[in-house]
Amino acid sequence: MHRQRFFTLSASCPDRVGIVARVSSFIAEHQGWILETALHAEPPRDGESVGRYFMRIEIRADSLPFMLSEFRERFAPLAGELALSWKITDSAVKKRLVLLVSRQEHCLYDLLARWKSKELDVEIPCVISNHNDLRGFVEWHGISFHHVPVTASNKAAAYAEVQRLFEEVHGDTMVLARYMQILSPELCAAYPGRIINIHHSFLPSFVGAKPYHQAYEKGVKLIGATCHYVTADLDQGPIIEQDVIRIDHTDAVEDMVRYGRDIEKTVLARGLRYHLEDRVLVHGNKTVVFR
């Protein structure tokens, strides 16, 4: 990827002739230098008269005579005319991640290692957990740790506290790095497309708890992991990334869990990177991912 500062325009709209021409002409009229473009047209779904068009455009920041606030103001009339659902972000502004974990540490370890090495160029203002086990490890990294216990009787208050902490640190994305709790519908609704989960199964198979045990009982030959956006429907949110590994009859549940941890780490890291780079556009319960 290029290193100079750039703006990323990501958008979707009802398909029609001239979308790319209109958007690229707007950028060119303001001397904008396009660094990268990705486009995709979806055919109409059942009940729809037209399909949907998706685009992601990177623009060199110093080629424009104005910054994002003025870009948004000038672009808004064209976006309205094309019925665009759109956003534009600045590569110089680091996204702020809030990580949620329970007791399993492998995904947390991996993300913090990537953050520490600058491979994951983000800010992590805090980690929230329903257990205290990982406090020392998190605080050793200089990151604030918040213990928010979740019980059957306090879930509403617990998730209100999670939301308060997320807002307090101005979080952009919430990452469930093996957070073994089901978020409240209210919390899911507050941040659509901003909460990412790693599920230790190749969804839609084996939703919910103990998917490796379910897979073992089913005698599957492939196990996998799924990175997806969180919705109020358990493990049913739009899928960002998936991967699998082959197993056979000699593998016990414990082997499958061990293999699965490696897949979970890499799938979460890849899916999170696509999200952070504004490569994921959601349409209904599906995603378009510009890799």
The answer to whether residues 159 and 220 belong to one domain is: yes
**72-92 as b/e: b if 16+ CB within 10 A:** eeebeeebeebebebebbebe
The residue out of 90, 125, 156 marking a domain boundary is 90
The answer to whether residues 82 and 188 belong to one domain is: no
Q: Is residue 107 part of a domain?
A: yes
Quick check: 152 and 130 in contact, CB under 8 A? Answer: no
Average pLDDT score over residue span 158-180: 97
Q: Mind listing the pLDDT tens digit for each residue in 23-79?
A: 999 999 999 999 999 999 999 988 788 999 999 999 999 999 999 999 999 999 999
235 is catalytic: yes
Average pLDDT score over residue span 102-126: 97
Q: CATH code at 72?
A: 3.30.70.260
Determine the Cα–Cα distance for residues 53 and 43; give it in Å rounded to an integer.
Answer: 9
Of 15, 235, 251, 255, which is the active-site residue? Answer: 235
Quick check: 169 and 91 in contact, CB under 8 A? Answer: no
- Residue 2 confidence (pLDDT): 55
Listed range (50-59, 163-172, 255-264) with the worst mean pLDDT? 255-264
Domain span at 212 = 96-289
The answer to whether residues 68 and 206 belong to one domain is: no
- Residue 49 confidence (pLDDT): 86
The residue out of 59, 75, 90 marking a domain boundary is 90
Q: What is the pTM of this model?
A: 0.94
Q: Mind listing the pLDDT tens digit for each residue in 214-243?
A: 888 888 888 889 999 999 998 899 999 999
The answer to whether residues 120 and 75 belong to one domain is: no
Number of domains in the chain: 2
Q: Is residue 155 part of a domain?
A: yes
Determine the Cα–Cα distance for residues 9 and 171; give it in Å rounded to an integer.
Answer: 21
The answer to whether residues 180 and 46 belong to one domain is: no
The residue out of 36, 66, 90 marking a domain boundary is 90
